[in-house]
Chains A and B, each alone.
Chain A
Amino acid sequence: MTDDEDLIRALQAEHGDALFTHALRLCDGDRQRAEDLVQETLLRAWRHPEALDPERGSTRAWLFTTARRLAIDAWRRREARVGEVVTDSIPEPRPELSETDRAVEAWTIAEALDRLSPSHREVLIECFYRGRSVAEAAAVLGIPPGTVKSRTHYAVRALRLVLDEMGVTR
């Protein structure tokens, strides 16, 4: 049966780079763990091909969410093991936002950005993360300033919608 292998090949061809980039973020830049995570995610897809039914939503969104879920599980297992070592000291009161929560928040935002179209993601990265003005972003991207403005107008709305869908905002 090569159908399974065709599925994996097709997923890897269409989403491989984006999924690896996503996994690398989830693994804090550790390439070995990122590869493990991509493998586990694709194996899940292979075991649950019904989850990839286009009528049930975007394949990329499913892959990203599955990878994030697996990364969170792995993270919690590590955190639990670390917690077990300290047995004879009184546990510190938990800070309001744990390291995990913070990481999960960052991953969620990264995932939302990855779900945007490349042109939307691009203007958000230039204008927000690189701190460029409309004029500077226009020069870097080789498009008129008016286009940068209209793209950011639509990009922030698309982002808002994705975050709503992911349950971050409502």
Chain B
Amino acid sequence: MRSQPPGPPASPGPYAPGPCPYELDDGAYILGALSPAERAEYERHLATCPPCRDAIAQLAVLPGLLGRLDPQTAQRSVTAPPTLLPRVLAAVRAQRAAARRRRLLTTVAGVVAAVALALVVGIGVKLALPAGPAPLTYRPMSVGDNTVRVDAEIGIQEQSSGTMVSVRCLYHDQSDHTWQILLIVYPREEEAESIGSWVATGGQPVEVSAITRYSPDQIDRIELQTRNHTTIAWWSP
């Protein structure tokens, strides 16, 4: 982004509107790359040129930020090892195969259950239902790589049809800004699924419950994400 000259100077002086001959020197100046003579000349110029002063003010934060990375790490550039691609492709194939096996098992289990139910109904025996779900306890979720602070808790309850996921969260943001939040379940070895979405506003607590067909031990990770899939909070059993 180029800084815009703020119009003619308030008082007449050596600065004249129009392209400034020193305009391109600001980068080298803040990086400390001007020679001592050029540096002194540029600083004399700064005293008379408001647009250049504004530009420097905009950029002044950069040297400090750049300095947080050590020079050795900054200069490192390597090529990926040739073994990496075959390894990733093998992992993709393994995950796909595992997902296929799981789908097949689910189908078989469904058929078995249907047959069993037919038998039970047929002979009129009443099956004792398993005890009700364990009480819901909330645990804190880990916070993602956020700019907005969020407190989130999660409760997990196994159910006959899958897992009930309950989330309570509060966004600490004073503005009226709203976010679209997605509740994403990552099962082990299968594709992630979104089981809910809502709109969150800073300072207003949200409580949401949703159900996923996966059992708790099949779940690898549960995340709250923004619409562009930035993780704002996560939990892993």
Q: Is the CB of B69 within 8 A of A113?
A: yes
How many angstroms from the CA of A124 to the CA of B229 in the assembled complex?
Answer: 31
In angstroms, Cα B144 to Cα A43, docked, is 19
Main secondary structure of the interface of A (DSSP, over half): helix
Do residues A153 and B231 form an inter-chain contact, with CB atoms below 8 A? Answer: no
- Would you list which residues of chain B between 41 and 59 have a CB under 8 Å from chain A? 58-59
Contact among B31, B73, B84, B234 with A128 in the assembled complex (CB-CB below 8 Å) = B31
Q: Mark B25-46, 1 if CB is under 8 A from A, else 0.
A: 1111011111100100000000
Given the interface contacts A39-B87, A43-B88, A69-B145, does A150 sit within 8 Å of B24 by beta carbon?
Answer: yes
Q: Do B32 and A8 touch across chains, with their CB atoms under 8 A apart? A: no
On whether A167 and B33 interact (CB within 8 A), knowing A106-B73, A113-B69, A149-B27, the answer reads no
Contact B63 A12 (CB under 8 A): no
Interface size on A, residues (CB 8 A): 68
- The answer on a CB contact under 8 Å between B92 and A156 is no
Within 8 A of A (CB), among B103-153: 142, 144-145, 147
Stretch at the interface among B10-18, B75-83, B161-169: B75-83
The distance in angstroms between the C-alpha atoms of A161 and B87, with both chains bound, is 36
A19 at interface, CB cutoff 8 A? yes
Tally A-B pairs: CB < 8 A: 165
Chain B residues with a Cβ closer than 8 Å to the other chain, count: 57
Cβ-neighbour of A35 out of B27, B81, B92, B231 (below 8 A) = B81
Whether the pair B88, A42 counts as a contact (CB closer than 8 A) is yes
Contact of B25 among A19, A46, A65, A149 (CB under 8 A): A149
30 contacts between A and B (CB under 8 A): A8-B85, A9-B89, A12-B84, A12-B85, A16-B80, A19-B80, A38-B80, A38-B84, A39-B87, A43-B91, A46-B92, A68-B145, A73-B142, A73-B234, A106-B69, A106-B70, A106-B73, A109-B69, A110-B74, A124-B66, A128-B32, A128-B66, A129-B75, A130-B71, A152-B27, A153-B26, A156-B30, A156-B62, A157-B27, A160-B1
When A and B form their complex, which 10 residue pairs have the shortest distance between CB atoms, in order from nearest? A152-B27, A20-B80, A127-B33, A129-B71, A153-B27, A109-B69, A16-B80, A156-B27, A127-B31, A153-B24
Residues of chain B touching chain A, judged by Cβ–Cβ distance below 8 Å, are 1-2, 23-28, 30-35, 38, 58-59, 61-63, 65-66, 68-71, 73-81, 83-85, 87-89, 91-93, 95-96, 142, 144-145, 147, 191-192, 228-231, 234
